[in-house]
Amino acid sequence: MRNLLIVLSGPSGVGKGTIVKKLLQKDGYALSVSCTTRAPREGEQNGVSYFFTDRQSFENLIKQGGFLEYSEHFGNYYGTPKAFVESKLKEADVLLEIEVDGALQVKAAHPEAILIMVAPPSEKELRDRLEKRGTESEEKIAERLKRTEYELSKKDLYDYTVINDDLITAVAEIENIIKQEKVKN
């Protein structure tokens, strides 16, 4: 069975990060660590949360064709390092936690990739979660909520949508999707 490229997207604060952490506690999954030019948040470690880099180095890697996909949003670059993902795919199913523009680039280049949209039960729920996280200013929260509408408008281009109402249920649903897709391969 071939290992899968599994792309998880969804609005900021929807709980993708927690879902990914839960999946990584199980066997057979590896995480793609993205590059970004945004500054690290408190507690984020280089090479674990992201590879933190500057614009010049990021743009050099773009020119060298080093990204599976990349996009610029909230004023920063985010991209999936191609070599990193290819090496991880030899060992495990690889999870990419990326936004929609990048996800659609992955699907165009790799139609066999599985795109899963993680959606919130409601917009109110999402705002509450972002405020509780407390890492963003009011202005940043408003910016991120505006982006939510755009992200969710692309869900029909995804292979699956999973509502993250209850974490355990959402993780089980995603595992089920992966299991079914593995049988197809």
Say which residue the tokens 């674990």 belong to.
Answer: 48
Q: Which residue, 67 or 171, has its beta carbon nearer to ligand 5GP?
A: 67
Q: How far is the CB of 121 from ligand 5GP (least distance, A)?
A: 18
- At 23, list the tokens: 């999946």
For binding to ligand 5GP (CB under 6 A), which residues are involved?
A: 12, 34, 38, 69-71, 78-80, 97-99, 101-102
- CB-closest chain residue to ligand 5GP: 102
Q: Which residue, 1 or 43, has its beta carbon nearer to ligand 5GP?
A: 43
Q: How far is the CB of 163 from ligand 5GP (least distance, A)?
A: 17
Q: How far is the CB of 53 from ligand 5GP (least distance, A)?
A: 12
Q: How far is the CB of 70 from ligand 5GP (least distance, A)?
A: 6
- DSSP-based helix, strand, coil % in the chain, nearest 5: 45, 25, 30
Contacts of 154 (CB under 8 A, 6+ apart): 100, 104, 117
Instruction: Show the 3-state SS of 16-37.
Output: HHHHHHHHHCCCCEEECCCEEC
